[in-house]
Amino acid sequence: MKTRLMALSLAAALLAGGPIATVLARQGADDPINSASPGDDRGGERTRGADDDGGDDRGRDDDPGRLGFPVEIDVETPRRGDRVGLGGRGWLVDLEIEYQVPLARTGFTVNPDGVTPGFQLTGAATHANAAPLPGTFGVGADDRLPGLIVLLTTTSAASGGPCQNLANLFNLTGITDLDSDQAELWDTWIIGASNFGSDVDSTLFVAVASDLNGDGIYNDAPDVLTDSEGDGFCTQADLLDHGVVSNIEPVHFHINGAVDLTGLPVVP
């Protein structure tokens, strides 16, 4: 919770400027938009009970669908069934990524001096690649976590379309747990423009690419994922065809349209 609150606080300023069979059995490789049903990872309302701590079963250590992957991803927000943002903007994608490998193999980069860690607090315009925590900002593979793949089915054509990797739009990247043989990183993106739809259902896909070049590092995410199905969308099947070393996190949610803000207090 502290990490999420920190991410919200820091990023708010930026608005201005395993085996394939196991994966398929758990997640499916069909169209998540048209076939989403309550209770699965592709859609439906998330039910909260009296003992719910605000999460769901994704990310629990006892979830057998998550075992066997060197990298495990939790999408902290949005959750399935959430209705996010106002007018297509002002919503977050917040990721917890657990690597069961040393930090040097995660793909996490250092700055050009070769010494300073690549923590970032970045964004559009004057925020891009600016001190004290620089990072590039734009669509494509991320310069800080170059193995990360993030897709939205409602990405506009002007922003690259549904197969465009959006990982380099993330604003805030940091290390939240570290040991000699494993690392946990959090990555947060605040959506500052309505380039991904307004008053529309969308599906988010998140994964980490396999070590395709054989250098022992998870740094092989594409700028644009190949639409191997040829259907105009990129989903689980296309990610599997590319090669992933993590679970695939699909989340079906709604991006809100314009809302009447009459009656809200105005900042002095």
Whether 121 is in a domain gets the answer: yes
Whole-structure pTM value: 0.74
Per-residue pLDDT for 176 more than 70?
yes
pLDDT mean across residues, the chain: 79
Q: Region 239-243: what's the mean pLDDT?
A: 97
Residue 21 included in any domain:
yes
Give the structural domain span for 211: 2-29+70-255
Cβ burial of 159 (10 Å; 0-12, 13-18, 19+) is middle
Number of neighbours of residue 169 by Cβ within 10 angstroms: 24
Tell which wins on pLDDT, 22 or 165.
165
Look at residues 167, 170, 204, 185 and name the one whose alpha carbon lies nearest to residue 71: 185
Tokens of 6: 């920190």
Residues 27-46, mean pLDDT to the nearest whole number = 36
- Convert the pLDDT of each residue in 77-134 to its tens digit: 999 999 999 999 999 999 999 999 999 999 988 877 777 787 887 767 677 666 766 6
Q: Has residue 189 been placed in a domain?
A: yes
Q: Which residue has the higher pLDDT, 10 or 99?
A: 99
Judge whether 54 lies within some domain: no
Residue 11 domain-assigned?
yes
Q: Where are the alpha helices (DSSP H) in the chain?
A: 2-12, 20-27, 32-35, 103-106, 236-242
Q: What is the pLDDT of residue 134?
A: 66
Tell me what pLDDT residue 117 has.
80
Residue 81 maps to a domain: yes
pLDDT at 45 over 70: no
What is the DSSP code string of 64-91?
GGGTT-SEEEEEEESPTT-EE-BTTBSE
In a domain, 184, yes or no: yes
Asked if residue 71 has pLDDT above 70, the reply is: yes
Is residue 52 included in any domain, yes or no? no
Count of structural domains, the chain:
1
Q: According to the model, what pLDDT value does residue 130 have?
A: 62
